[in-house]
Structures are given as C-alpha cells and as structure tokens.
Amino acid sequence: MKKINKTLLFIFCLFFLTCNIKAESLKSLKAQLAKDEANQAALVKKQKNVQNKIKSANKEISSLEKDIERYEDEIDDLLEQIDELEIDIEKKKKEIDSLLSFLQVSNGDNIYLEYVFEAKDFTDFIYRSAVVEELTKYNDDLIDEMYNLIEEDKKLQVELKNKIAKSEASIKDLDKKLKNYNVSLADLEDAHSDVAAEIKSRKKTIEYYESIYKANGCKEDVDLVVCISSTNAKGFVRPLTKGTITSEWGYRICPVHGREIHSGIDIGVPLNTPVYASAAGTVSGITTKSSCGGNIVTINHIVNGKQYRSVYMHLASINVKIGQAVNINTIVGKSGGGGFTLRKNGGWDTCSTGAHLHFTIRNGWTGSNSVNPRNFVTFPSKGKSFSSRF
Ligand SMILES: [Zn+2]
C-alpha cells in the first residue's frame, strides 16, 4: 500500500505538480533522537526487570538448596533413630525371651523355683510370676510402639525424599528460567549498547547540522540537503554562457497574455543550449507541463544569510532531480520554448514566440515574490548580447 502510494505520488509529482519530496531535516533528526532515547529508557527498564527476575530466581534456588540440606539432615536423623530403635527392639526382645523362659520355668513344677525366683513362700512366688507376666506384656507393648515409630520414621523419610525431589525439580525449572533470563539480558544489553552508540552518533550529527542551520539561518524543518547546499552561495551569476536579452522583468504587454507582470528576464538562446544554476543551492521544484512555462526547475538558495529561489522556465529538457545539491557549474537543463512551431523540434510550451530562457529570482523559499534579476546579476541592456557567465 505504502509502495503504491509512493509510486502514485511520484507519478503525480512528475506530471502534474511541482513537488518538494520531504527528506531529512534537523527537526526529523531530533525526533529520531527522541525516539532512540525513549527506546533506550524502555530497554533500561526491561533490563532492570530481567535483572530482578534473575535475582529472585537465584534467591529461590538458594532457599530450595537450604531446604534440601535440611531435609537430608532430617533423613539422617530418622535413619539414626531407626538404628537406635532397632537396637532397642533387639534388647527388649532379649528381655522378653529371658522373662518368658522364667515364666515357662515357673509354670512347671520345678523344684528350683523357689531358688530361681527367690520366693519366700508360694504366695510370694505367685506374686512374682504375675509381675513377670506383666513385665513381659509391658515389653511387648513397648516393642509394638517402637515398630510403629520405625514405620512412622520410614513414612517421614519417604515424605522427605518426595520433598527433596520436588525441590530439585523446582531448582531445575529455575535453572532453565535463569538460562533464558540470561539470554534475554544479553540481548537487551546488546540492543542497549546499539542504541547508546546510535544516540551518541546522532547527537554528533545534530550538533554538526545545528551549527550549519544556525549559520545559514535555516528553520529546523528545512531539509538537510537544502540547508547544507545553501552554504557558501556567494551570489548569483548568469545562467547561460551566452545569450541576448529579449524581455525585462516587470509589467509588459505580452503578445499571448496581454498586460502582465513578467516575473523574470528573458534571454534568447538557440534551442537545447545548456542552462546552468545561477547560484549554489538545492533543487526544490520540478514542473513539467505542456501549457505556459513548460519544463520548469526551481532552486532554493541562501545568499548572505537570506533565502531566495531561482526559476528556469521553458526548458526543453531537465537534467536535475528534486533535492539535488547544485552549484553554478551544474547544468539544470537545456533551453526550449517557441511554442507550437518549435514543439516538433523539441520545444515545449505554448506561451513563447521563440527559443529562450525565462529566468526568475524570488525572495524567500515560498510565495511568488519575484524580484528584478538585474538586482543580483549583471545583464546587458535589452537587445544586447553577453558571452560569459560573469
Ligand atoms: Zn519570460
């Protein structure tokens, strides 16, 4: 779409209008700098954001690592506890075994019972055997309790191991994230240093152009090429190496249009004579039309700090492009004119009676304030010829 628009604009410009295709200006450079600076600020913000993410991921990892360490300590404690419980169980089992063997002995008619139990009498013996039975039961319960503890410890171990696995998985995820963060941080740092370099060079460029704009009195939205080419324009010289003055600037009676303000000076030359820029400047307008004026070139100048335009009409051909920097040795085109009679021989427009150059100087870069070219360029009087540019 954009391309089509540009093409259309180009065609439109070429055939119908005098167009000034907008190029870069000091203003647009400054706008680009502001854009770059905004971009830089956004990048700094993004960098900080990623740096914070890296910081918090690292913090999380170290806290998870501490958790894992704690879980492993807890597992070690549990293993130790299980070992101790197993030893206790063995001990209790032995105690029970020995108590049981006493009990078995006590249930028989062993003659050494009294001796074994050291009972004073039978009642005492009964009492003692009951105590043994109770002790055995008590130890059994203790063993059960210890087995339960071991089971609980084992369950806890499994839980802790699960927790460790979970923490390790989280660390792995965080490591992956960290890797991505570091990649994007590196990208952002690259982009940032690119933008910083861009800003630095743009500032230098702006500084350079600012001094030229100031020296040439250009407004910030004037195209760079226009303002730069306006530098050192010392003054206007004749646009032709030779010719004859056929009509003056000012009011006159035109054979085609009657009374009119004649905006320039007419210089009679043969068809297709090279026409030069009258001063250094930049081509700001190109018009092609088959009505009065024909092919027209307009050039913007700054002479002694003031803005002017020079206009070259009735050209048979055009040799420059809009935005082109020109000097007094640049051929802007070749002379034409002569209306219908000369058209078949390469003449162009309808409002001139013979091949000639209509040369106009205007004050300023806008408006139609033509001034007498004789104020700027030395020409011989009407009807007389010249044969040099100066
Ligand atoms: Zn004229």
Domain boundaries, the chain: 28-203, 227-386
What pLDDT does 247 receive? 92
Task: Report d(CA 100, CA 140) in Å as an integer.
Answer: 11
CA of 236 to the centre of ligand 1 (A): 18
CA of 222 to the centre of ligand 1 (A): 29
- Residue 351 C-beta-side C-alpha neighbours within 13 Å: 19
- Contacts (Cβ under 8 Å, ≥6 apart) of 279: 233, 234, 235, 236, 237, 299, 301, 303, 308, 310, 328
What pLDDT does 10 receive? 39
CA of 327 to the centre of ligand 1 (A): 23
What pLDDT does 254 receive? 66
Q: Tell me which fold the domain 28-203 belongs to.
A: Helix Hairpins (1.10.287)
CA of 357 to the centre of ligand 1 (A): 7
**Is the C-alpha dihedral spanning 222, 224, 226, 228 positive or negative?**
positive
CA of 336 to the centre of ligand 1 (A): 12
CA of 293 to the centre of ligand 1 (A): 9
What pLDDT does 198 receive? 87
In the numeric block, the tokens 């059960």 are attached to 144
What pLDDT does 62 receive? 96
CA of 370 to the centre of ligand 1 (A): 12
CA of 265 to the centre of ligand 1 (A): 6
What pLDDT does 343 receive? 60
CA of 264 to the centre of ligand 1 (A): 6
CA of 361 to the centre of ligand 1 (A): 12
CA of 240 to the centre of ligand 1 (A): 15
CA of 255 to the centre of ligand 1 (A): 12
What one-character-per-residue DSSP string does 170-196 give?
HHHHHHHHHHHHHHHHHHHHHHHHHHH
CA of 329 to the centre of ligand 1 (A): 23
CA of 247 to the centre of ligand 1 (A): 7
CA of 267 to the centre of ligand 1 (A): 8
317: helix, strand or coil: strand
CA of 226 to the centre of ligand 1 (A): 26
CA of 360 to the centre of ligand 1 (A): 8
CA of 176 to the centre of ligand 1 (A): 79
CA of 150 to the centre of ligand 1 (A): 117
CA of 257 to the centre of ligand 1 (A): 12
Q: Tell me which fold the domain 227-386 belongs to.
A: Glucose Permease (Domain IIA) (2.70.70)
Task: Report d(CA 305, CA 4) in Å as an integer.
Answer: 39
- Residue 266 C-beta-side C-alpha neighbours within 13 Å: 22
CA of 245 to the centre of ligand 1 (A): 10
pLDDT tens for the 390 residues of the chain, in order: 333 344 444 333 333 333 344 468 999 999 999 999 999 999 999 999 999 999 999 999 999 999 999 999 999 999 999 999 999 889 988 888 887 777 666 665 554 454 445 667 777 777 777 777 787 788 889 889 989 989 998 999 999 999 999 999 999 999 999 999 999 999 999 999 889 988 988 898 888 788 778 877 788 998 877 776 665 566 898 999 999 999 999 987 766 667 778 899 999 999 899 999 999 888 988 888 766 777 899 999 888 778 899 999 999 899 999 888 888 889 999 998 876 555 655 556 667 778 899 999 999 988 889 999 999 999 999 999 998 888
CA of 387 to the centre of ligand 1 (A): 20
CA of 238 to the centre of ligand 1 (A): 15
CA of 359 to the centre of ligand 1 (A): 7
The predicted model scores a pTM of 0.48
